Structure 1
Amino acid sequence: MTLDAASVRAVAKKDFQDAVRSRLLWALSVLFVLFAGGMAYLYTEIQNASGNELAALDLIFFLQSPVGLLIPLTGLLLGYKSVAGEIETGSVKILLSLPHSRGSVLLGKLFGRTGVLTVPILVGFAVAAVVVLALYPVFTAKYYLAFVAVTILFGLAYVSIAVAISAMTKSTSRAAVGIVSAFVAFNMLWEVIGYGIHYVVTLITEGDGVFFPGFANEAPTWFLFYQRLSPNGAFGGALTSALPRDSSFSEFFPSGDVPFYLADWFSLVILALWVIVPLYLGYLRFDAADL
């Protein structure tokens, strides 16, 4: 992959400025402000009604599931037209007639679209932090900042997947089918398939099929690793690497001596691979394409 830093910056800057001009960045910022601020306030109402003490750490776990849906949706939608749209309109020929290699175009698109996602995340969770500071008696900034940082990496992974899919197709309609398939695969089917495999394995080895393996310390290591292999599973594991174990969700995390691939830090490696591998595969297809 031939890359030039100045070329990558130029493509990323243009992509980001296009989002600003089209008001996409502002729309996403409003969406994330309403989402993050609204969820923080909603959590206070739920906890106050139950009589429990408010704590920002518990809010993070409360946010994990909705963030695990919003970020994939936003990242995939942001990236699917990035290259396919340029190919479909023919503007990719103009782009490549400038001193930009195909690798630089792809990486620039990744950074530009990720910037369009990162700014709303920062703005939205900054507003949520104000709500937290105003209402929550227990707030540890480092955990909240770690949550935001892992969320940005999670978003980068999904933007990379979308840009890769876009680079593998020559039309936005095919790219749209690709991102819908990716969303369904990672957010709906991955876990179901894992339960199905667990059922078959236990049926063969124990003579009695079991779908649900229980909590982390009860499930076999291969099943836990399978869960961590998806972007969403890696996101959950990466969060545990940044948060304390003595939380109300600790039963979902494997404890004690575990293989390195179940260590929380390894989820960060998996998440990073979801950034690198799809983009590289997309580059191989894009570089060989006759435009």
Structure 2
Amino acid sequence: MWRLVARKDVRDSIRERHLHIGAGLFTIVGLIAGFVYADSYDPTYVDQPGVQFLGVLVGVSLFLVPITALMLAQGRIVDKRSRGELVVLLGMPFSRRDVVVGSLAGRAAVTAAVVACLFAFATGVAALMLAPIPLARLVAALVVFAAFGALFVSIGTGISAAVAGTTRAAVGAVGVYLFFVFRLHNIVWELLVKGVYGADNVPRALMPVVAQLGPFAALRNVVVGIYPPIAGAFGYFGGPPPTDITLFATPSVGVLVLALWATVPLYLGLQRFEGADL
């Protein structure tokens, strides 16, 4: 039954022009990114053709995809709840789980579509300007960022399911984005560890561990572990790579961290939604 909810969600995104706005924004950014890459192409990268292009798209995607996914997802369930549409929907043979999973799937599909616009139009402009195109790596990057977008859709859906007001959902989504972008979890972890061990007795290995547990750093660890030349593209978002805790920087641990971020907030939101009085 969740598939029916997902289809309706996609249709709603078209009717409400969320898909149009997102696709338009990402198309414009893609055109600019493709032109910037082709216009500034450096032939000295001939040994690794297209690394510059991937770097541009990765940097843009790290900034735009998470906030877009969060904003697309954060109001989906709570908006239905505030308008009374959710009561009608649950009066049909749909469970609350169907609503949550269907909303997640629908918004993940919309996010993937707008990310595809970014990559497609950037590639088109670069190709027209005869710059080298690493097609296989571009397809892999598109899949990676569509999945990364789905992770933030999952977080946004969890927020939407957990709260009772649209303002709270919007504030929560923006707060989550800023929390990760400014790496505030590092500060929280540092305060926690110092509170437990004391400021002068903190085990050295504990401090940098949490820096690898955010979704941006985890994605960097996965991607760079598979394709090291792209490391520089993560810049500020990925944070400094670890030097003495290599276990936490492996791709396998990165995949586990990403999986936890994709599932735990959604599960917590679903549990709160299941017990909510609508």
TM-score scaled to structure 1, two decimals?
0.80
Give 1:256 shift: 10
User: CA separation of 1:110/1:246 partners in 2, compared to 1, >3 Å: closer, same or farther?
Assistant: closer
User: CA separation of 1:136/1:191 partners in 2, compared to 1, >3 Å: closer, same or farther?
Assistant: farther
Work out the CA distance in 1 between the residues paired with 2:226 and 2:124: 21
Work out the CA distance in 1 between the residues paired with 2:58 and 2:185: 16
- Alignment correspondent of 2:215: 231
Work out the CA distance in 2 between the residues paired with 1:119 and 1:287: 30
SS at match of 2:110: helix
Aligned runs of 1:176-255 on 2, under 5 Å?
Answer: 176-190=170-184, 193=187, 204=200, 222=206, 225-243=209-227, 245-246=228-229, 249=232, 253=241
User: CA separation of 1:256/1:19 partners in 2, compared to 1, >3 Å: closer, same or farther?
Assistant: same
Work out the CA distance in 2 between the residues paired with 1:267 and 1:248: 15
Say what the alpha-carbon RMSD is for the aligned residues: 3.1
User: CA separation of 1:136/1:64 partners in 2, compared to 1, >3 Å: closer, same or farther?
Assistant: same
Give 1:169 shift: 0.9
Q: Establish whether residue 16 from structure 1 lines up as the match of residue 4 from structure 2.
A: no
Aligned residues: 268
Match of 1:157 among 133, 151, 170: 151
Q: Establish whether residue 281 from structure 1 lines up as the match of residue 274 from structure 2.
A: no
Aligned runs of 1:1-291 on 2, under 5 Å?
Answer: 7-47=1-41, 52-53=44-45, 55-135=49-129, 138-190=132-184, 193=187, 204=200, 222=206, 225-243=209-227, 245-246=228-229, 249=232, 253=241, 258-259=246-247, 261-291=248-278
Seq. identity, %: 27
Q: Deviations over 1:13-52 (max 9, x none)?
A: 000001112222122112111112311211333445xx75
Preserved contact between residue 84 and residue 170 of structure 1 (Cα < 8 Å)? yes
User: CA separation of 1:176/1:129 partners in 2, compared to 1, >3 Å: closer, same or farther?
Assistant: same
Counterpart residue identity of residue 85, structure 2: S
Preserved contact between residue 77 and residue 162 of structure 1 (Cα < 8 Å)? yes
Unaligned residue ranges in structure 2 (runs of 5+): none
Work out the CA distance in 2 between the residues paired with 1:192 and 1:108: 33
Preserved contact between residue 65 and residue 149 of structure 2 (Cα < 8 Å)? yes
